[in-house]
Amino acid sequence: MNVIFFGPPAAGKGTQAKIIQQQYGLQQLSTGDMLREEIAAGTELGKKAKHLMDQGKLVPDKVVIDMIAKRLDSPECAKGVIFDGFPRTVAQAEALDALLAERGKKIDIVMELDVDQDKIIERMKKRAAEEGRSDDNVEALKIRLQQYNDYSAKVLPYYRAQGAVPKINGNKPVEGVTAQITDILAGKVSAPLQVSSGA
């Protein structure tokens, strides 16, 4: 099963993806996390990406598409993937569809995490204090929200043309958001693919 978590910056996609990864045995693929790993490793790609990320701008489509393409065939992805922060443009969505089709796979469900703007700012500030991400500041967030509206919001109509895109109320506490997601996934699979041993 391949799932996309879609939503504005700091909406909680990564938090939910990690929980669902545990419960369902799906692999989270976060392009943001992959880019931060490149930065931490000091690669050329990381250096170029950091400059754009710090400003809140998107990195080029090809960069993230290539990163995803490289991971899709890894054994962790065998049961399926939760795409988090990807695709962010229609070009990325088209490329993802093509990559999956080449492998006889497809996106099974796209969920939209809907979060109020004041909550987004609140969460971004909390994350800034906890993680110290260099793009978690009000200036960069303004650009990130603008990029979301200019590019990413156009990805929703792309997927709506392929099927229903359920909306999740992302303003609720973490467990309340997870409950909505698992309800939707329950309609897609009869039982969790892998029952969580933890919490």
Contact 76, 161 (CB under 8 A): no
Task: Return the residues of window 133-152 that contact ligand ADP according to CB under 6 A.
Answer: 135, 144
Window contacting ligand ADP (CB under 6 A); options: 55-63, 103-111, 153-161, 173-181: 55-63
Contact 156, 93 (CB under 8 A): no
Contact 123, 132 (CB under 8 A): no
Instruction: Tell me the C-alpha distance between 168 and 154, whole Å.
Output: 18
Window contacting ligand ADP (CB under 6 A); options: 51-59, 70-78, 94-102, 172-180: 51-59
Q: Which of 2, 88, 110, 112 binds ligand ADP (CB under 6 A)?
A: 88
Task: State the minimum distance, in angstroms, from the CB of residue 113 to ligand ADP.
Answer: 10
Task: Return the residues of window 152-171 that contact ligand ADP according to CB under 6 A.
Answer: none
Give me the phi and psi of 6, to 5 degrees please: -115, 140
Among residues 150 and 183, whose Cβ is nearest to ligand ADP? 150
> Token pair 């200036």 is at which residue?
139
Q: Which two tokens stand for residue 134?
A: 């260099």
Instruction: Tell me the C-alpha distance between 80 and 128, whole Å.
Output: 31
Give SS3 for 111: strand
| Known catalytic membership, residue 71 | no
Give SS3 for 60: coil
Among residues 86 and 159, whose Cβ is nearest to ligand ADP? 86
Using rule CB under 6 A, residue 9 touches ligand ADP: yes
Task: State the minimum distance, in angstroms, from the CB of residue 68 to ligand ADP.
Answer: 8
Contact residues: ligand ADP, CB under 6 A: 9-10, 13, 31-32, 35, 52-53, 56-59, 64, 85-86, 88, 92, 135, 144
